[in-house]
Structure formats: structure tokens, C-alpha cells
Amino acid sequence: MKTTPPAFTRPRKSWGQNFLIDFNIQRKILDLAEIKRGEHVIEIGPGRGMLTRGLLERKAFVTAIEIDPHLVDRIRKEMPSVGPPDFELVLGDALRYPYETIQGPYKVVANLPYNLSTPVLFRLLEEYRQIKMMVLMLQREVAERLAADVGTKRYGALTVTVQYCADVRAAFEVPPSCFRPRPRVHSTVILLTPRSNGRMPVQDESFFLKVVKGAFAYRRKRVVNSLVESGFSKEAVLGSLEKIGLDPGRRGETFSLSEFLELAKEIGRLV
Ligand code: SAM
């Protein structure tokens, strides 16, 4: 049967359309995700199907969410023989997709559009109980922030918030030459494993996240001043630091995740 070749459409910058063209990187991503037959994998932004094909070849059940109708059309034409239940192709915005309706456990594999990586990641982390593993290609700087160690330049509110839900490992870098069109930035593939016991224990999650955000709001200030400027009472902050034996002269970036958890718990008791 003759199939019409897909129409050429110029890659859209606003949708971060830098397509992977390197099969070695495709294989490394799939190997890292340890794709097994019958596993459910969500792919965000299948684009021209580079990762999608590999996932289907490894016999995963794939749900792929793509915002660009031309690309959805192209994939349908290029892969006429695959469909539900092996392959579900959704035309839509990955930020609005009802992930809460997917029965876990599932994996997420994606080469994310650069402008969407943090919002998509936060949306997915809301569903962390259902997610076994995420293998995501991100802009190198964002990946460095997610995987940063305490005390380093890249360590910040984003690091603590994400590491509170998941173990993060930067796996390998991908240069611009592996994409068409070439992006201006380097990329890094990261492996996120949501914590098996759930998020770290904390009584009031939104309060904890507020403390973390407040501690980094004024990076050059000591943590006490940054938190006070962010609306916390000076007495409560100083009292809490003293109670848990932490030096009030320290800056936010020197606090480990467990110190933040202790600090938030203590401030929460005092206010
Ligand atoms: N996975 C393909 C690859 O590796 O070659 C394409 C990756 S490209 C960096 C990002 C893809 O995400 C594009 O296909 C783009 O159209 C799609 N995309 C952008 N914004 C999106 C959104 N809000 N929801 C779903 N897909 C989106």
C-alpha cells in the first residue's frame, strides 16, 4: 500500500523543536530507562518519533503527548501499523494532561522542550507515587541545578524541592550536534527516581516549601535575614536554629535537605 510522505514543516522554536538525530544517544537513553516488555511509558513531546520508535521496538506500551498537530499527523502516517493498546498518541499540551488518571507504575522518558522542563517536572512530581523512574533530557544548566550538591553554586530552591521527592543523577551530556536544528545550549540526560517511601516526612508540605523558597529568596544574605525578608518572624527563625544547633550565620545554600526539613519543622512549631 502506498503511503503519502509526511509534509515538511519547519521546526517551531516556540515549542522547543530540536529533534534528536543521534541513534547512539537514543540507545543510551533507552538503556538508562531499562525499558522492559509491557512496561507503560509516558513520552512527552515525541516530535518526529526518534525515542518513540525505540520505545516501541523494546515493546513498551507508550502514551505519547505531542502539542504540534503536524507532528502528530506525521507520526500517524509513518507508523500506521501501531495503535492502541501498544501506542496511544495524544494531541495536546503536556502541562494539561490528566496524569492523575494513569494507573501506575509507569516510567517517563522525554527529550523535553527547554522552556517546559521545570513546569513539566513539577507537574509530574505531583504524581510521584505512580512513577517508577524518569529519564529526561534537559538543558545542561537546569540538570546541574537539579543534581547539585549542597554548598555549590547551582544548589538552590529548585534542587531542594526536587531532591525532596526524588533521587537525582546526571547521567550523561549531549552536545548540540546531536540535534536538528542545533540548539544553542548543551543538554544533559538525568535519571530521577522518586523516593520509594514517598516524599521525606514533613508535617506541612507547603510550609516546608515556603521555608526553602524563603531561605533562597535573597541568596547573598544569611538564612535568617533571607527568611525574615520573606515574611518569617525573626524570633521563630533564630529560636529554631538555636534549638537544632545550626549556626544562624550560614547562608541558605549550605543547608542540606535534612537540615531544611528540621528547620521547617521547628519554625512551624513556633509560629
Ligand atoms: N522527542 C523528540 C526527539 O527527541 O527528537 C522531540 C523532542 S523536542 C526537544 C520537544 C518536543 O516537544 C517537540 O516535538 C514539541 O513539539 C513538543 N512540545 C513542545 N511543547 C509541548 C507541550 N506543551 N506539550 C506536548 N508537547 C510539546
CA angle at residue 62 from 60 to 63, to 5 degrees? 160
Asked whether residue 6 carries a pLDDT value surpassing 70, the answer given is: no
82-118: buried (b, 16+ CB within 10 Å) or exposed (e) per residue?
beeeebebeeeebeebebeeeeeebbbbbbbbbebbb
CA distances, 161 to each of 69, 82, 112, 175, 197 (Å): 34, 38, 19, 28, 16
Q: Whose CA is nearest to atom 11 of ligand 1?
A: 45
Dist. CA 151–CA 224, nearest whole Å? 17
Helix (H, G, I), strand (E, B) or coil at 15: helix
Q: Which residues contact 113 (CB under 8 A, 6 or more apart)?
A: 15, 16, 17, 45
What's the CA-to-centroid distance between 143 and ligand 1, angstroms?
A: 18
Domain borders along the chain are: 13-194, 205-270
Question: What are the strands, taking DSSP E only, across the chain?
Answer: 19-20, 40-44, 61-66, 87-91, 106-111, 131-139, 166-174, 179-180, 187-194
Q: How far is the CA of 93 from the centre of ligand 1 (A)?
A: 10
Give dist(CA 195, CA 199) in Å, integer: 6
Q: The pTM is what?
A: 0.91
Give me the amino acid identity at 239.
G
Name residues contacting ligand 1 (CB within 6 A).
15-20, 44-48, 50-51, 65-68, 71, 93-95, 111, 113, 116
pLDDT band at 84 (very low <50, low <70, confident <90, very high): confident
pLDDT band at 226 (very low <50, low <70, confident <90, very high): very high
pLDDT tens profile 116-144: 999 999 999 889 889 999 999 999 999 99
What is the CB neighbour count within 10 angstroms for residue 249? 10
What is the share, in percent, of the chain residues with pLDDT greater than 70? 94
Distance 111 CA to ligand 1 centre (A): 7
d(CA 14, ligand 1 centre) in Å: 10
Q: Which of 12, 20, 67 to mutate to test the pocket of ligand 1 (most atoms within 8 A of CB)?
A: 67
The closest residue, in CA terms, to atom 17 on ligand 1 is 45
Q: Which of 94, 49, 53 is nearest to 72 (CA)?
A: 49
Fold of 13-194: Rossmann fold (3.40.50)
Please state which of the four CATH numbers 3.20.20.10, 3.40.190.10, 3.40.630.10, 1.10.8.100 is assigned to the domain occupying 205-270. 1.10.8.100
The alpha carbon of 162 and the centre of ligand 1 are apart by a number of angstroms equal to 22
Residue 3 has pLDDT above 50, yes or no: no
